[in-house]
Amino acid sequence: MARKLSDSEFAERARASNRRRTERHQQKQVLLGKSSLTVWIPDSLRAALAAKATADGATIQDTATAVLSAGLGNQGEIPKHKEKPDPDLFSEPEPAPVDTDPAPRRA
């Protein structure tokens, strides 16, 4: 009979299993040509999306994909704006590093 695992051993095995499962799922999605998108939307829009998914008998993921595709005209491209885009927030040069180490110690 197998020995009983301690709580810490069980937790570590469960975490490792979850990591492997997540990695396999993500790899499968990438191979299918999908990518993850996380956005913050108003609660009312989220509720409307969930209601449409329920009415259509579909998942929120499939409903969001359909709504976004329809909104983009199934082109898969974001329309170009005529106005100047916002500047890249990360294009500024980084400041010189500050030496936070104390003065060298003498032996």
**Is it the case that residue 93 has pLDDT exceeding 70?**
no
92 touches 101 (CB < 8 A):
no
Q: How confident is the model at residue 72 (pLDDT cuts 50, 70, 90)?
A: confident
Helix, strand, coil % in the chain, rounded to nearest 5: 50, 0, 50
* Dihedral sign from CA coordinates of 34, 78, 72, 75: negative
Per-domain boundaries in the chain: 7-36, 37-72
* Higher-confidence position of 81 and 54: 54
pTM tops 0.85: no
**Is it the case that residue 46 has pLDDT exceeding 60?**
yes
